Amino acid sequence: MSAAINSDVVGSRKRRDWPQHGILWALILVELLPLYMMLQVSFKNNAQFIQNPWLPASPGAWHWENWSFAFTLIAPYVANTIFVAVTGTLLTLFFAVLGAYFFARYRMPCSNLLWSVFMILMMLPSIANLIPLFTLLKELHLLNTLWALVAVGTAGGQVFNIFVLRNFIEDLPKDLFEAAEMDGASHFQQIVNIVLPMCSPILGTLAILAFLGKWNDFLLPLIILRDKELFTLGVGLIYLDGEYVKHWGQVMAAYFMAALPVIVIFLFTMRLFVRGLSQGAIKG
Amino acid sequence: MPSVPLSPQKARREWKLYFFIVPSLLLVGVFSYFPAGSAIFHSLFDWQGGDAKQFVGFDNFRRALGDKVLWNAFGTVACLMLFNLFKMIPSILMAVLIHRLRSDRWQYFYRVLLVVPMIVPHLVTLFIWKFFLDPNLGILNRVLDFTGGKSALVWIDHVFGWGIFFENAPIGWLSQPELILPALFLWGFPWIGSVGVLIYLAGLQSIGSEVYEAAELDGIGPIGKFFYIELPLILTQVRLSVVLLIIGTIQGYGLQLLLLGDSGGPGGRGMVPGLWMYNRAFIAGDFGYACAIGIILFIFIFTLTVINNRYVRVDK
Confidence of residue B205 (pLDDT cuts 50, 70, 90): confident
Distance CA B237, CA B242 (A): 9
Q: A199 lies in a domain?
A: yes
Per the structure, how many domains does chain B have? Answer: 1
C-alpha to C-alpha distance for A206 and A215, rounded to whole angstroms: 14
Helical axes B194-204 vs B104-115, angle rounded to 10°: 150
Query: At A84, phi and psi to the nearest 5?
Result: -65, -45
B238 vs A283: which has the higher pLDDT: B238
pLDDT recorded at residue B169: 80
pLDDT of residue B25 exceeding 90: yes
| Residues A108, A26 share a domain | no
The whole-number pLDDT of residue B208 equals: 76
First to last CA, chain A: 48
- Closest CA relative to residue A118, chosen from A167, A170, A161, A171: A161
Query: Of the candidates B6, B39, B295, which has its C-beta nearest A106's C-beta?
Result: B6
Quote the CA–CA distance of A250 and B209 in Å, as a whole number.
Answer: 51
> Hey, is B168 helix, strand or coil?
coil
| Domain boundaries, position A28 | 2-41
A35 shares its domain with A87: no
Q: Are residues A122 and A179 in the same domain?
A: yes
CB atoms B128 and A273 under 8 Å: no
d(CA B244, CA A72): 39
Three-class SS state of B103: coil
- DSSP summary character for residue B312: S
The reply to whether B113 touches chain A by the CB within 8 Å rule is yes
Whether A168 maps to a domain, the answer reads yes
**Chain B residues close to A251, C-beta within 8 Å:** 127
Is the domain of A37 the same as that of A70? no
Dist CA A18 CA A122 (whole Å): 44
- Find out whether A128 and B39 touch, Cβ atoms under 8 Å: yes
Clarify whether residues A157 and A193 are in a common domain. Answer: yes
Based on the domain organization, do A121 and A154 belong to the same domain?
yes
At residue B195, the pLDDT reads: 81
Average pLDDT over all residues of chain B:
86
Distance CA A148, CA A151 (A): 5
Domain-located, residue A228: yes
User: What was the pLDDT predicted at A9?
Assistant: 44
* pLDDT 10s digits, B27-62: 999 999 999 999 999 999 998 877 888 899 899 999
User: Total domain count for chain A?
Assistant: 2
- Distance from the B28 Cα atom to the nearest Cα atom in chain A, whole angstroms: 6
Residue B240 carries which side chain, given as an amino acid letter? L
Does residue A114 share a domain with residue A28? no
The minimum CA-CA distance between A191 and chain B, rounded to whole Å, is: 11
Task: Give me the phi and psi of B46, to 5 degrees please.
Answer: -90, 110
3-state secondary structure chain A: CHHHHHHHHHHHHHHHCHHHHHHHHHHHHHHHHHHHHHHHHCCCCHHHHHHCCCCCCCHHHCCCHHHHHHHHHHHHHHHHHHHHHHHHHHHHHHHHHHHHHHHHHCECCCHHHHHHHHHHHHHCCCHHHHHHHHHHHHHCCCCCCHHHHHHHHHHHHHHHHHHHHHHHHHCCCHHHHHHHHHCCCCHHHHHHHHHHHHCHHHHHHHHHHHHHHHHHCCHHHHHHCCCHHHCCHHHHHHHHHCCCCCCHHHHHHHHHHHHHHHHHHHHHHHHHHHHHHHHHHHHC
Does the distance separating the beta carbons of B36 and A124 come in below 8 Å? Answer: yes
Query: How many whole angstroms separate alpha carbon B126 and alpha carbon B182?
Result: 16
- Among A170, A162, A264, which residue's Cα sits nearest to residue A203? A162
A136 lies in the same domain as A19: no
Optimal mutation site among B7, B14, B32, B251, interface A, most CBs of chain A within 10 A:
B32
The residue type found at A71 is F
Give the residue among A61, A45, A40 at the shortest CA–CA distance from A250: A45
- Tell whether A16 and A97 lie within a shared domain: no
- Residue A6 within any structural domain of the chain: yes
In terms of domains, do A225 and A100 share one?
A: yes
Establish if B45 belongs to a structural domain.
no
pLDDT for residue B237: 82
**How many Cβ pairs within 8 Å bridge chains A and B?**
269
Contact between chains at A128 and B298 (C-beta distance less than 8 A) = yes
Residue A244, domain CATH:
1.10.3720.10
Residue at B77 is within a domain: yes
Q: Note the pLDDT of residue A275.
A: 66
pLDDT tens per residue across span A202-252: 888 889 889 988 998 898 999 999 998 999 998 999 888 887 777 888 999
Cβ neighbours around B69 below 10 Å, total: 15
Please indicate, yes or no, if residue A58 is contained in any of the structural domains.
Answer: no
**Is the domain of A35 the same as that of A153?**
no
Residue A25: inside a domain, yes or no? yes
The model carries a pTM of 0.86
Best residue in B6, B17, B21, B38 for a mutation probing chain A (most A CBs within 10 Å): B21
Confidence at B3, pLDDT banded by 50, 70, 90 = low
- The verdict on residue B74 lying in a domain is yes
The ranges of chain A with pLDDT < 50 are 1-12, 281-284
Alpha carbon distance, N-terminus to C-terminus of chain B: 20
- E strand or H helix at B238: helix B231-251
Q: What average pLDDT score do residues B165-186 get? A: 85
CA distance A145 to chain B (A): 16
We report the CATH number of the domain holding residue B233 as 1.10.3720.10
Are A77 and A209 within one domain? yes
Domain that holds residue B290: 63-109+202-311
Chain A positions touching B134 (Cβ under 8 A) are: none
Stated as kind and residue range, the H or E segment containing B20 is none
Would you say residue B218 has pLDDT above 80?
yes
* pLDDT band (50, 70, 90) for residue B316: very low
